[in-house]
Amino acid sequence: MTYHNRLNDKVEMTKTGIRSARNSDVAPISGSAATRLAGPAPLFAQVRDAVRSDILSGALRPGDRLPSESALIERFGVSRITVRQAIGELQTSGLVQTVNGKGSFVTRPGRGEAHGPLVGVLEAMRRRGITARGKLLSHRHIKATEAVARELDLLPGSQVGAVTVLRYRNEVPFVVGTTWCTVATADRLAKADLTERDVATTIEVELGLRHARTRVSVSALVADAKLARLLAYDVGAAILRISTTSIDYDSRPIAHSITDCRADMMDYRVTLRG
């Protein structure tokens, strides 16, 4: 049995906040009306993980309103305090947003913008008023190198997908990046519009693969003949290399990317919040 309580007004998440939609339903949540909790984990953690599983599996979709506290209490047979603690943890992790007087909602990842600590190259340029676009250079299935396999937690030689995109700033090529992921994810990624949208944003917003954290390393190198040709740059000129690996909420790698940037046209800015 799923929860499907009708409301006169459903509040949905939008880019600017909340809007009402008449005669909509609260999103159902998977599982029986009474879900037995068992195991050594605290009750709030078991409730949190059950709701989180519904979000990550798509049973609860971005913008959906979670069942009420009373419905969750009935389903899990726990106290109101336990339910509130579970929802609070989901809110802290970024999966849920609670609006006073309205309820809790599954967040919409990105809404076309970067989610989490990273801002995509195209988005970063546009925020500065610069014209920017991307171009898909290649999409292929390859055997993972030791370095890629290590980042994706695979055995070397495992089959992976690789998608390479060239970015332009005011019609001058200035960034080229390759993303490695599962073959299925790469196939879907290559079909998306990478002209206007960054790869990381596309993976999260369009493909629905939500990341919980991202590992980042930054290094410097010089352009070889291939990079210089791609970026209309001088051989031996400075290159900024940004390596990222996105991790999902189950601590599994989603994708690994290496992005090489012209140092004369690209900088890397980080804002740390305590």
Nearest-angstrom CA–CA distance, 119 and 116: 8
DSSP 66-120: PPPHHHHHHHHT--HHHHHHHHHHHHHTTSEEEETTTEEEE--S-TTS--TT---
Nearest-angstrom CA–CA distance, 269 and 194: 23
Residue 157 C-beta-side C-alpha neighbours within 13 Å? 0
Q: Return all residues near 26 (Cβ < 8 A) that are at least 6 apart.
A: 3, 4, 5, 6, 7, 10, 64, 65, 66, 67, 68
Q: Give the predicted TM-score (pTM) of the model.
A: 0.72
Give which of 141, 111, 102, 123 is closest to 12, Cα–Cα: 102
Please give the span between the terminal C-alpha atoms of the chain, in angstroms, as a whole number.
Answer: 43
Q: Does domain 121-262 have CATH number 3.40.1410.10?
A: yes
Angle between helices 80-92 and 43-57 (to 10 degrees): 50
pLDDT of residue 118: 57
Q: Report yes or no: 134 and 167 within 8 Å, Cβ to Cβ.
A: yes
Of 52-66, 119-133, 137-151, 258-272, which one has max mean pLDDT? 137-151
% residues pLDDT > 70 (the chain): 82
CB atoms within 10 A of CB 268: 11
| Residue 274's pLDDT band (cuts 50, 70, 90) | low
Nearest-angstrom CA–CA distance, 121 and 85: 37
C-alpha distances in Å from residue 100, one per residue of 62, 69, 104, 195, 262 = 18, 13, 9, 39, 46
Per DSSP, the three-state class of 215 is strand
Residue whose entry in the numeric block shows the structure tokens 């004369």: 264
Render pLDDT for 209-228 as a digit per residue (tens, 0 to 9): 888 889 999 999 999 999 99
Of 45-54, 93-102, 169-178, 197-206, which one has max mean pLDDT? 169-178
With a cut of 90, say whether residue 138 has pLDDT above it: yes
What is the domain partition of the chain in residue ranges? Answer: 9-106, 121-262
Topology adopted by domain 9-106: Arc Repressor Mutant, subunit A (1.10.10)
What radius of gyration do the chain's Cα atoms show?
A: 22
